[in-house]
Structure 1
Amino acid sequence: MREALIVWGGWSGHEPEQCAEIIRDMLQQDGFKVYVERSTEAFADPSIHDLSLIVPIMTMSKIEKEEAKNLAAAIENGVGLAGYHGGAGDAFRECVEYQFIVGGQWVAHPGNIIDYTVNITRPDDPLMEGISDFPYHSEQYYLHLDPSNEVLATTTFTDEHAWWINGVVMPVVWKRQYGKGRVFYSSLGHVAEEFNVPQMREIYRRGANWAAR
């Protein structure tokens, strides 16, 4: 049986506990045995090297050097990581080693909660099969990114909230390798209610299953 670890905490505005419960149930339905922890201390445990998947939900927060080192080693050796929104893309701002794993870092969401479109760029990829472009109401994430990411979906910024980024096409969903480990990230999911959006939920579910070894 595949085993997954969810570690949640950090900024409460992203509803990490509620989201952890949703993802736990999702993974259990897909046959995972799921462990849930509330401290980054879990990342320092040698047993994480035996997992199939790690899900960080730790917006902002801090991670100790040895915790980050062990987490990176586990993923490099084959453990998958599946993250979303700020829980993964804006966690551990001071830890560049962690940002190297994820492949990106949040820097802005002009206009805060707005309407925008998610454009599927790789409809031929199994993670996106049968999913078309869809409207979304949330924070439109502006990120700094690793060019080695394999981008699966994007969004295009307008000049309404920041004129100098008009027309910028920004990745929303990507997958990547970190050593032997597979890493999946989606910038969607500001609050738990967004998991009710069928496309958002299915993209994350598929991504988590893809990342898990």
Structure 2
Amino acid sequence: MREALIVWGGWSGHEPEECAAVIKDILEEDGFKVRVEASTEAFADPAVHDLSLVVPIVTMSKIEKDEISNLAAAIESGVGIAGYHGGAGDSFRDCVDYQFIIGGQWVAHPGNIIDYRVNITKPDDPVMQGIFDFPYTSEQYYMHVDPSNEVLATTTFTGDHAHWIDGVVMPVVWKRRYGKGRVFYSSLGHQAKEFDVPEMRTIFRRGASWAAR
């Protein structure tokens, strides 16, 4: 049986505990044995190396050196990592090693909660099969992203809330490698209710399954 670790914490506005419960249900439905922890200390546990998947849900927090070194080594050796929104894309602003793993870092969400569109760029990818461009209401993430990411979906900024980014096409969903480990990220999912959006939930479910070894 594949085993997964969910670690939640950080800024409460992203409802990390509630989202951890949602993701636990998703993973268990897909046959994972799931452990949930509320401290980044779990990343330092040697048992992380035996997992199939890690899901961080920690926004604007801190990670200790022993925690990131152990987590990075585990992923480099083949443990998968899957994350979303600020829980993975704005976790540890002062930890470039973590940002190197994820492949991106949040910068801004101009206009806060707005209506925007998600455009599927790789419809033949198994994560995206049967999913078409869809409207979305949430924070539209503007991010610094790694050019080595394999981008599966994007969004285009209008400039209504920051005129200098009018027309910028920004990755929304990507996958990548970190050593032998698979990394999946989606910027969708500001709060737990967004998992009720079928496209968002399906993308995360498939992405997490792809990332898991």
Would you call these one fold, judging by a TM-score over 0.5?
yes
Unmatched 5+ residue regions in structure 1?
A: none
Rounded to whole Å, the distance in 1 between the matches of 2:56 and 2:180 is 19
Unmatched 5+ residue regions in structure 2?
A: none
Corresponding residue for residue 46 of structure 1: 46
- The alpha-carbon deviation at position 153 of structure 1 amounts to 0.1
Say whether 1:71 aligns with 2:71: yes
Cα RMSD of the aligned pairs, angstroms, is: 0.3
SS in 1 for 2:154: strand
SS in 2 for 1:128: coil
Corresponding residue for residue 30 of structure 2: 30
What aligned pairs does 1:167-206 form with structure 2 within 5 A after superposition?
167-206=167-206
Corresponding residue for residue 115 of structure 1: 115
- The alpha-carbon deviation at position 178 of structure 1 amounts to 0.2
The one-letter code sitting in structure 2 at the alignment partner of 1:146 is D
TM-score calculated relative to the size of structure 1: 1.00
- The alpha-carbon deviation at position 159 of structure 1 amounts to 1.4
Rounded to whole Å, the distance in 2 between the matches of 1:109 and 1:124 is 29
In the TM superposition, what whole-angstrom CA distance separates every residue of 1:56-108 from its partner, at most 9, and x where no partner exists? 00001100011000000000000000000000000011000000000000000
Identity over aligned residues, as a percent?
Answer: 80
Corresponding residue for residue 126 of structure 1: 126
The one-letter code sitting in structure 2 at the alignment partner of 1:139 is E
In the TM superposition, what whole-angstrom CA distance separates every residue of 1:127-179 from its partner, at most 9, and x where no partner exists? 00000000000000000010000000000001100000000000000000000
Rounded to whole Å, the distance in 1 between the matches of 2:77 and 2:137 is 37
Rounded to whole Å, the distance in 1 between the matches of 2:159 and 2:48 is 44
User: Following superposition, which runs of at least 4 residues in structure 1 exceed 2 angstroms of deviation?
Assistant: none
SS in 2 for 1:7: strand
Rounded to whole Å, the distance in 2 between the matches of 1:194 and 1:124 is 24
In the TM superposition, what whole-angstrom CA distance separates every residue of 1:14-54 from its partner, at most 9, and x where no partner exists? 00000000000000010000000000000000000000000
Rounded to whole Å, the distance in 2 between the matches of 1:169 and 1:27 is 31
Rounded to whole Å, the distance in 2 between the matches of 1:12 and 1:30 is 27
Say whether 1:139 aligns with 2:164: no
The one-letter code sitting in structure 1 at the alignment partner of 2:135 is P
Corresponding residue for residue 166 of structure 1: 166
What aligned pairs does 1:100-111 form with structure 2 within 5 A after superposition?
100-111=100-111
